[in-house]
Amino acid sequence: MPPDNPELPLSHSADSELPIRTSTALGAAIRAQRKRLALSQLDLAGLGNTGNRFIVDLENGKPTVQLQKALDLMDLLGLEVVVRAKSGAGRAP
């Protein structure tokens, strides 16, 4: 499945890693986790002390959303960002 596909595989679990290379893929991961937790977008907006429009934009992959707010919502949903070298990527000499 291409990394920018907005739908996550049904077998994806919160304990697995998912490479994120686009804002659309990040939004899909956040949406999938919100749904796994049985939260509506309005529920998440209330819990995250943000507006519903922000949740909609984030889940739709809007590339200009505020990074810290997105990270805060991910933390609230039990998700985290891990930065690592791409597998198979060459190393600098």
Asked if 55 and 44 count as a contact pair (C-beta separation under 8 A), the reply is yes
34-37 contacts at long range (C-beta below 8 A, 24 or more positions apart): 34/59, 34/77, 37/77, 37/78
The architecture in CATH of the region 23-76 reads: Orthogonal Bundle (1.10)
Taking the model in full, what pTM does it have? 0.78
Report which of residues 73 and 8 the model is more confident about: 73
pLDDT at 92 (0 to 100): 59
CA–CA distance, 87 with 62 (Å, rounded to integer)? 27
Look at residues 30, 82, 93 and name the one whose alpha carbon lies nearest to residue 56.
30
Report which of residues 12 and 87 the model is more confident about: 87
**Average of per-residue pLDDT across 26-52:** 97
pLDDT at 82 (0 to 100): 92
pLDDT at 71 (0 to 100): 98
